A and B are shown apart, each in its own frame.
Chain A
Amino acid sequence: MPDPSSGHAFGLAHQFDDYEQQREASYLGVWVFLVTEILFFGGLFTAYIVYRSQFPFAFAMGSHELDITLGSINTAVLIGSSLTMAMAVWATQTGRRRSIVAYILATILLGGVFLGIKVVEYTAKFEHHLFPGPNFHWQGSDPAHVEMFFNLYFAMTGLHALHMVIGIGILLVIAVLAWRGSFSPQNHNLVEGIGLYWHFVDIVWIFLFPLLYLLGRNIQS
């Protein structure tokens, strides 16, 4: 352990002895937070697995209603945003201040595109009376379980989109901070933290995409 704190350096909180301890603590903190997020989505994934195993046909029919082109584009967009986010962290680690801002803005932009496409998809579902509740209307067979599919679709993608919105909000703040030069190779916990969060949101989508859009495509309705 290093020497006991002797006066406080810039950006070092009072409870820590040095930057190293602070960085490790914040890194661990973000990871523990992400574990809570895994289980937060986990409840919904469990519900999805239980119901899909019971009503595979209805779920396949529901999934046929989703736009696979838009879904695939969105997957690519989000993976792209993960790349730019990773590059933003790299730029911070190597002290390229202007690149940080550029990469973060790119991430925000791609996140915005994702949400925009999501809005298009949601609008179409509302117009086709596929939002659960009293207005839900389904011509084909087994309307009840198809509605259950859309329950899960909206709950899962809605919660995911909410995480995106929060992420974009934080990224905007980070972009401003980066512009002002608040980060350095020694002190970049915030960028690293939001990066981990952003990648986590990407991972959730990596699972949502096959579960909601792909499974059952081969089943003829």
Chain B
Amino acid sequence: MAKQLETICITTGPVEVGDYVTLNIGPIHPAMHGTLRVITKTDGETIVSAKPEIGYLHRGVEKLGENLTYSQFLPITDRLNYCSAICNNVAYEMAVEKLLGLQVPPKAQLIRMIMMELARIADHQVCVGILGVDLGALTPFFYLIIQREEIYEIFEWHHGARLTNSMGAIGGVEADLPERFHEKWPKLRDTIRKANDETDKLLTHNRIWMDRTIGVNAFCADDALNWGFTGPMLRACGVKRDLRKEEPYLMYDEVNFEIPTGKHGDVFDRYMVRMLEMEESVKIIDQAYALYKELPEDAPLMKKVPKIIKPPEGQIYHAIESPNGELGFFIKSDGSDKPYRIKIRPPCYMVYQAFEDLVKGEMISDLIACLSSLNVIAGELDR
């Protein structure tokens, strides 16, 4: 349940008067992740108004979804949030399984949990690394990305692809945990923690970093809820809400982990929430791995699913906790083998529409810091 923290809020920001330099931080810009564009009116360095403009990576995924069968749409889903493709795949698979009304065998659930938490760590690593790069600290990025390479190697040995995974199928997982995971994971969990500690030592208590991030576009909790924030953005504002705890899916209720929350919703809190979440994910993977070892060797991995999936008529909405927040799939089926309407609820869509409120009155450097701390991914944003 959402526990509100009463924080004293003051209204800041310049009054929009007179004409200002319109600075077009365009779709092609080193600090714009993917094809995002912000048309800012600046008064010197402070930003008077910032209008985000999206649509540069709009590929009509939902129109495509209406013309592809259920199993053909799976590879399209990992082009949404390409930093953690496995979370999109599993979200879509679970939505279709909810439509079909079937339950995936426990071993497949555990494999899905382990792979999703690995993808979450990879996504947070990219986000924290890029946040460091945008504020000038280039070195932590490399320490984190090297660990991400190890995680990608596990993905490659499990289902054959590093980034565009299209993991598993509707009804379960197609391969057991690879040999590579059993031999690498004990060492990998320590190197992931070591990389996090090194980033922490380089950045967190460094006064330059703290000046650049503490208090920068802080956000009240009730504003965040009004704007529809979910995930690390909402938790940074102090609301303790995580879909894995509120609406447990897979086997998240048999695994205990904490939910890190910040206080003021500023860039520092978002950074800390992501760093602590990586720690929690490692704990989840350990517990899930222990549960996995108890299952028999030849436990079933897939549920019996017909080759051509024709779900009954009806419409469902299923949401999971992706690294950016609540990633939901709304599928309306009319009984044929193609979904009648697919709507994807991307978590960073709601966050990016509040960009003007987040950034107004701050400086250009804060706009860049804010954008990379939101972890807005154009593929998921424009669908």
A binds B: no
> Interface residues, chain A, CB within 8 Å of chain B?
none
Residues of B within 8 A of A (CB): none
